[in-house]
Structure 1
Amino acid sequence: MANLAQLLEDTAATYPDREALVLGPARVTYAQLDAAASQVANLLVATGIQPGDKVALSCVNVPHFTIVYFGILKAGAAVVPLNVLLRSREIAYHLDDSDARAYFCFQGTPELPIADEGYAGFVETPGCEHFFVITLDPAAASPVQGTPQRPVRTLGQAVADQPATFRSVETADDDTAVILYTSGTTGQPKGAELRHRNMRDNALVARDVFQCDPARPDTYLCVLPLFHSFGQTVTQNSAIAFGGRCVLLPRFEAGAAIQIMLDERVTVFAGVPTMYWSLLDALARDPSIDVETLAGNLRIAISGGAALPVEVHRQFEKQFGVTIMEGYGLSETSPVAAFSVYGQPPRVGSIGVPVRGIEMKLLDPASWDEITEPEGIGEVAIRGHNVMKGYYKRPEATEQALRDGWFRTGDLGRRDADGWYYIVDRSKDMILRNGFNVYPREVEEVLLTHPGVSLAAVIGIPHPSHGEEIKAVVIREKGATVTTEELIAWAKEQMASYKYPRVVEFVDALPMTATGKILKRELS
Structure 2
Amino acid sequence: MLNLSSIIESSALKFPDQIAFKYRNEEYSFAEINATANKVANALSKLGLKKGDKVALSCVNIPYFPIIYYGILKAGLVVVPLNINLKTEEIIYHLKNSESKVYFCFSGTDEVEMAKMGYEAFKKVDECLEFITIMPSRKSYSFLSFEELIADESTIFETSETHSNDTAVIIYTSGTTGNPKGAELTHFNLLMNSKICKELFHISENDTQLIVLPLFHIFAMTVLMNSGVLSGCCNILVPKFREETILQLFQKHEVTVFAGVPTMYLRLTAYQPSQIDLALISKKLRLCISGGASLPVSAIEEFEQKFNVPIIEGYGMSEGSPVVTFNVNEELRKMGSIGVPVYGVEVKIVDKAGNEVPIGTKGELWYRGHNVMKGYYKNQNATAETITNGWLHSGDIAVKDEDGFYFIVDRAKDIIISGGVNIYPREVEDVIMKHEAVSMVAVIGVPDEIMGENVKAYVVLKNNQKLNEEELIIFLKQKIASYKSPRSIEFLETLPMNATGKILKKKLRKKAILW
Task: Work out whether the TM-score is over 0.5.
Answer: yes
C-alpha separation between the residues in 2 aligned to 1:303 and 1:208? 17
* Distance (whole Å) between structure 2 residues aligned to residue 473 and residue 403 of structure 1: 37
**Aligned equivalent of 1:145, options 125, 141, 144:** 141
Q: What displacement does 1:346 show?
A: 3.0
Matches within 5 A, 1:462-477: 462-477=447-462
Aligned to 2:195: 204
Q: Which moved more, 1:459-468 or 1:478-487?
A: 478-487
Matches within 5 A, 1:138-217: 143=139, 145-146=141-142, 152-214=143-205, 217=206
Verify: 1:420 aligned to 2:420, yes or no: no
The offset of 1:212, in angstroms, is 2.3
Structure 1 letter corresponding to 2:484: K
Partner of 1:149: none
| Counterparts of 1:183 and 1:67, CA distance in 2 | 25
Cα gap change, 1:486 to 1:109, in 2 (>3 Å): farther
| 1:268 maps to 2:254 | no
C-alpha spacing 1:450/1:112, structure 2 compared with 1 (3 Å)? farther
Superimposed CA distance per residue, residues 295-344 of structure 1 (whole angstroms, 9 cap, x where no aligned partner): 11111100000111111101111112211110110000010111111242
Give CA-to-partner distance per residue, 1:68-98, whole Å, 9 cap, x none: 0000000000000000000010001000000
What is the CA-CA distance between 1:30 and the residue it aligns to? 0.3
* TM-score normalised by length of structure 2: 0.97
Within 5 A, what are the aligned runs for 1:450-461?
Answer: 450-461=435-446
Cα separation, 2, equivalents of 1:343 and 1:409: 26
Q: Measure, in 2, the Cα distance between the counterparts of 1:127 and 1:355.
A: 40
**1:110/1:321 CA distance change after superposition, 3 Å:** closer
Kindly state the Cα deviation for residue 114 of structure 1 after the two structures are TM-superposed.
1.2
Indicate if the aligned counterparts of 1:323 and 1:346 stay in contact, CA closer than 8 A.
no
| Aligned match of 1:496 | 481
1:236 partnered with 2:221:
no
- What is the alpha-carbon distance in structure 2 between the residues aligned to residue 101 and residue 345 of structure 1? 47
Q: How does 1:54-73 map to 2 (within 5 A)?
A: 54-73=54-73
Query: 2:137, 2:412 → 1: CA distance?
Result: 48
Equivalence for 2:353? 367
Q: Say if 2:289 is the partner of 1:302.
A: yes
Which residue is equivalent to 2:30? 30
Map 1:276-355 onto structure 2 (within 5 A): 276-282=265-271, 285-286=272-273, 288-355=275-342
**Contact kept? 1:141, 1:154, Cα under 8 Å:** no
Structure 2: distance between partners of 1:456 and 1:134: 38
Q: Is the 8 A contact 2:3 2:74 kept in 1?
A: no
Describe the shift of the 1:143–1:89 C-alpha distance in structure 2 as closer, same or farther (beyond 3 A): farther
Aligned-partner Cα distance in 2 for 1:84–1:164: 29
d(CA) in 2 for partners of 1:273 and 1:112?
30
How far is the alpha carbon of 1:386 from its aligned partner?
0.6
Give me the whole-angstrom Cα distance separating, in 2, the residues matched to 1:444 and 1:433. Answer: 17
CA contact (8 A) 1:40 1:68 kept: yes
User: Contact 2:39/2:150 (CA < 8 Å) preserved in 1?
Assistant: yes
Gaps of 5+ in 2: none
TM-score between both structures, scaled by the size of structure 1: 0.95
Does the 8 A contact of 2:171 with 2:182 survive in 1? yes
* Cα-Cα RMSD: 1.3
Alpha carbons of structure 1 residues 142 and 381: separation in structure 2 relative to 1, 3 Å: farther
Select which of 514, 521, 524 maps to 2:499. Answer: 514
- Once the two structures are superposed, the pairs formed by residues 7-86 of structure 1 within 5 Å of their partners are 7-86=7-86
CA distances 1:337-383 after superposition (whole Å, capped 9, x unpaired): 1111124243110000011111111111x222221x12111101110
Cα drift, residue 141 of structure 1: 6.1
* Structure 1 residue ranges without an equivalent (≥5): 147-151
| Matches of 1:181 and 1:324, distance apart in 2 | 28
Matched residue SS, 1:279 = helix
Shift of 1:246: 0.8
Please identify runs of 4+ aligned residues in structure 1 that moved more than 3 A. 108-112, 140-144
Provide the secondary structure at the position in 1 that maps to 2:43: helix
Q: Which amino acid aligns with 2:477?
A: K
Q: Per the alignment, in what secondary structure is the counterpart of residue 478 of structure 2?
A: helix
Work out whether residues 7 and 230 of structure 2, in 8 Å CA contact, stay in contact via their aligned partners in 1. yes
Q: Is the 8 A contact 2:261 2:291 kept in 1?
A: yes
- Distance, in Å, in 2 between the alignment partners of 1:501 and 1:109 is 46
